[in-house]
């Protein structure tokens, strides 16, 4: 199984400042079809998960452009250019390149400091 | 508007059974792979099971293999999860997800030992 490791696990942020979350996989996420199926999800307190980014860097419809995804192979990053109060929550990376199982990272808790 | 509405959760004794349902609307259900993902209290997201669009292919996490069965009725736009031989460690909120882009609100399964 592919192990997904996120860092940091806790991220205090200041509104208006940038934030970055790292996600590393135990093996390359380049799939047999040439795509890299790395997703990022946001889970606000008390809510269901919501996908922000799919295939490394593609934003879902309605996701603010302050969220961006990048990376390749085994190293991936979610960046928030200017954190807003509504960005508080837990962020998960998830791989869908080598399944089953689909595997999530442990989650990174973003909170306003 | 896309909606996924889970139902069927509740309190059950160890060794018991439950059947979860997920009613879909607002998207072409029969073209989507569907998943069940669970989240134990205060913990992260864990993938449980998947079924492809026509129901011909299914997969399970090792922790539920042989106990849980996923199915779908495309005529009713509904996804199911039959859960047998439930254990305390199955206690979680269970989410259905359409190709991970659409998520339900979750249904709580609590297993008492």
CB-based contact, B3 to chain A, within 8 Å: no
**Do the chains contact at A92 and B61, CB–CB below 8 Å?**
no
Q: Which residue of A has its CA nearest to B58?
A: A100
pLDDT at residue A90 in the model: 98
CB within 8 Å: B47 and A103 = yes
pLDDT tens series, chain A, 113 aa? 999 999 999 999 999 999 999 999 999 999 999 999 999 999 999 999 999 999 999 999 999 999 999 999 999 999 999 999 999 999 999 999 999 999 999 999 999 98
Q: Using 50, 70 and 90 to split pLDDT, how confident is the model at B92?
A: very high
pLDDT at residue A59, as a whole number:
98
| B60 interfacial to chain A (CB closer than 8 Å) | yes
Backbone angles phi, psi at B87, to 5 degrees: -120, 165
Contact across the interface for B44 and A41, Cβ inside 8 Å: no
Q: Report how far residue A66's alpha carbon sits from residue A53's, in angstroms, rounded to the nearest whole number.
A: 12
Supply the DSSP string of B55-100, one letter for each residue.
Answer: SS-EEE-TTTTTTEEEEEETTTTEEEEEE-S--GGG-EEEEEEETT
Centroid of chain to Cα B14:
18
The pLDDT tens digits of the residues spanning B22-81 come to 999 999 999 999 999 999 999 999 999 999 999 999 999 999 999 999 999 999 999 999
What does the pLDDT read at residue A92?
98
Map tokens 């192979």 to a residue: A73
Beta bridge partners of B101: none
Q: What pLDDT shows up at residue B36? A: 98
Q: Is B98 on the interface with A (CB under 8 A)?
A: no
Alpha-carbon distance of B47 to B94, in angstroms, equals: 10
Pairing of strands A89-95, A38-43: antiparallel
């Amino acid at each position: 199984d592919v192990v997904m490791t996120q860092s940091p696990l806790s991220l205090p942020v200041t509104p208006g400042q940038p934030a970055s979350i790292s996600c590393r996989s135990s093996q390359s996420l380049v799939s047999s079809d040439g795509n890299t199926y790395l997703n990022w999800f946001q889970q606000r307190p008390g809510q269901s998960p919501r996908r922000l980014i799919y295939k490394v860097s593609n934003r879902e419809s309605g996701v603010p452009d302050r969220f961006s995804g990048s990376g390749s192979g085994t190293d991936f990053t979610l960046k928030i250019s200017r954190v807003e109060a509504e960005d508080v929550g837990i962020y998960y990376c998830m791989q869908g390149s080598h399944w089953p199982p689909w595997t999530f990272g442990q989650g990174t808790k973003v909170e306003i400091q | 508007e896309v909606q996924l509405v889970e139902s069927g959760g509740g309190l059950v004794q160890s060794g018991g059974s439950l059947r979860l349902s997920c009613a879909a609307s607002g998207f072409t259900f029969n073209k989507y792979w569907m998943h069940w993902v669970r989240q134990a209290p205060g913990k992260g997201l864990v993938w449980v099971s998947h079924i492809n669009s026509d129901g011909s292919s299914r997969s399970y996490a090792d922790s539920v293999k042989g106990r849980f069965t996923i199915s779908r009725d495309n005529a009713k736009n509904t996804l199911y999860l039959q859960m047998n031989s439930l254990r305390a460690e199955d206690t979680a909120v269970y989410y259905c997800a359409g190709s991970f882009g659409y998520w339900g609100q979750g249904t709580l399964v609590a297993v008492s030992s």
